[in-house]
Structure 1
Amino acid sequence: MIKKVKQALENGEGCRVYGVLDVQRVAGNFHISVHGLNIYVAQMIFGGATHVNVSHMIHDLSFGPKYPGIHNPLDGTVRILHETSGTFKYYIKIVPTEYRYISKEVIPTNQFSVSEYFSPMTEYDRTWPAVYFLYDLSPITVTIKEERRSFLHFITRLCAVLGGTFALTGLGIEYDMHVGCLGEPEY
């Protein structure tokens, strides 16, 4: 088995990880690494921790169902390592979100923001490289709702546009103003 894995690594093959995790609504983490292997086997396959390549591409990472207009900041993230190895850490702040459709249907989901940190391996490190996702939940819930605007709102916006157009076209007209004095100035 070790020979097959080493041959796959030499051919540039890697792992494809996908799935769904159910977690409690408390801070935590999940990570992808090789330190779950027997250290002896990992040493035979990779020749040491500094030779483990944790390059990765995140196609899709979300914390709940998607809703119209959502942007998940890690989707499409690519991190390629060439001559070094190390540990990636993604610090994720999750914000509980309710999306309310016009039809009154409510989707409970989450949005998140992320910051990342890379720590390169040195020959003195005693850990193995990994990709960590450390998350924390916000105590505040955001509600996004679809709604129709009233006809009065439409009329108000229309009047604002027409008034602005009239004001801008009126700027080109010159006015002649005459200022008159009562009497002549004294010297």
Structure 2
Amino acid sequence: MSDLSTLLNDLKKAADSVKTDIKTLDEQIHALNGERESLMNSPVSREDFAAYVRADLAKRGELFQYRIKQFADHSGRGNAKLNSSFVALDRVFQGGRLQNFPFMNGEDCFDGFAPSADAFFFYFGDLIAERFMAALDVVHDWPPGAIPVADLRKRIAEIDHELDTLLTRRDELASQLLSVGIAG
């Protein structure tokens, strides 16, 4: 065999080896993507679902809590600060009137019952979560042995890191082939 034939044969062997490495990496990437997809679609445990419910209700009640803070800082009546002095509170109490507390909407005291929805979430979030979960328990079978959300997040992060490493290596190998004029 001539030197050129030997060189071309060696180049073909090297290219085939790189293509085999790329194929192996593609298989690993495919397997990790499958595992990731499976984890992403995994049902959560009742406890984790309930934690999402409680967090959602807390978030829904945040606006009301903010409005109460705004009321305390700058009361809606003439933008005066909330007066929490004995004389102011007791005068209203002794006079048989209602205090100017925005119990149900966070902004005004009123005689009617027109609460804001976020007031319900603020005041009754724990009860709503408890009752909601009890209602779901009647109609939903929670998966036994569900992977905890913390473990799902951890494994998905590990997979993402592994995928980044494998994809970088694959791209490097494919780039090497292309740089010498060989299609992957």
The TM-score range, normalised by the shorter chain, is under 0.3
Higher helix share: 2
The higher-RCO structure (CA 8 Å, 6+ apart) is 2
**TM-score, length basis structure 1:** 0.23
**TM-score, length basis structure 2:** 0.23
